[in-house]
Structure 1
Amino acid sequence: MAPSSMARVSGRAGPEAPIDLVQLATNTLGNRELEVQVLNLFQSQSSSTLERLAMETDVLVKLDLVHTLKGSARAVGAERVAVVCETLEGKMKTSNDAATEGLVAAVNEANSYISELLEG
């Protein structure tokens, strides 16, 4: 298949989708190969970030991890993940033990959706 945006070939696009495929296509100039690479990178990085976040004790390092994940999420169109990161950043600035369950759920949802996109 010639490079084309997943946004044009996926039937699961829409405001309820965990990944905004139009935003992804815009950020990758509609290059499907680049979209696949970026999505794979996000899956890997987000999973690794969650693992590091669970083990980290330094609040500043945790803040940096969440902030970096927020930027990555926005780059692939995972706006729910980005919003959860933004909220978590605010909570982490006032509490050393801010809960990350919401972030884990949002990342898992986005990564499941990405897996469906890439396999289908």
Structure 2
Amino acid sequence: MAPSSMARVAGRGGPEAPINLVQLATNTLGNRDLEVQVLHLFKSQSSTTLERLACENDAGVRLDLVHTLKGSARAIGAERVAMVCENLEVRMQSTSDTATEGLIAAVDEANRYIRDLLEG
């Protein structure tokens, strides 16, 4: 499968990038318009999720939010965000320590990368 035009032009598209653009292209079947749409959706959803996590007290709801964000991150190739979510899920199930600073940092990094990618 040929990489999308987005993957070809990204300067930071290697394994160190916050988003694996090859994975994104694979998941969107190389459709650049769809790539742009899902990146915009992730930026919006991830920001909303972090806001909800900051205000939510119900442990079950918080766990669901993190789990949903993990799936969204994997869908766009944001594996660092997904791994932080996965680790947070484990902590949330076994302790009351549900600090989200690492998640906030990972999401911020991914969203900055998306912004730079889309604004070009």
Query: TM-score category by the smaller chain?
Result: over 0.9
Query: Match for residue 72 of structure 1?
Result: 72
Query: Match for residue 8 of structure 2?
Result: 8
TM-score normalised by the chain length of structure 1: 0.95
> Identity, % of aligned pairs?
77
State how far apart, in whole Å, the 2-side matches of 1:89 and 1:12 are: 29
State how far apart, in whole Å, the 1-side matches of 2:26 and 2:108 are: 24
Deviation at 1:8, TM superposition (A): 1.7
State how far apart, in whole Å, the 1-side matches of 2:64 and 2:111 are: 21
State how far apart, in whole Å, the 2-side matches of 1:18 and 1:113 are: 7
Structure 1's unaligned 5+ residue stretches are none
- Aligned pairs, how many? 117
Moved over 3 A (4+): none
TM-score normalised by the chain length of structure 2: 0.95
Q: Deviation string for 1:9-63 (max 9, x for gaps)?
A: 2222001000000000000011111000000000000000000000000000000
Question: After superposition, where does 1:100-111 map in structure 2 within 5 Å?
Answer: 100-111=100-111
SS at match of 1:44: helix
State how far apart, in whole Å, the 2-side matches of 1:53 and 1:84 are: 14
Query: Match for residue 99 of structure 1?
Result: 99
Structure 2's unaligned 5+ residue stretches are none
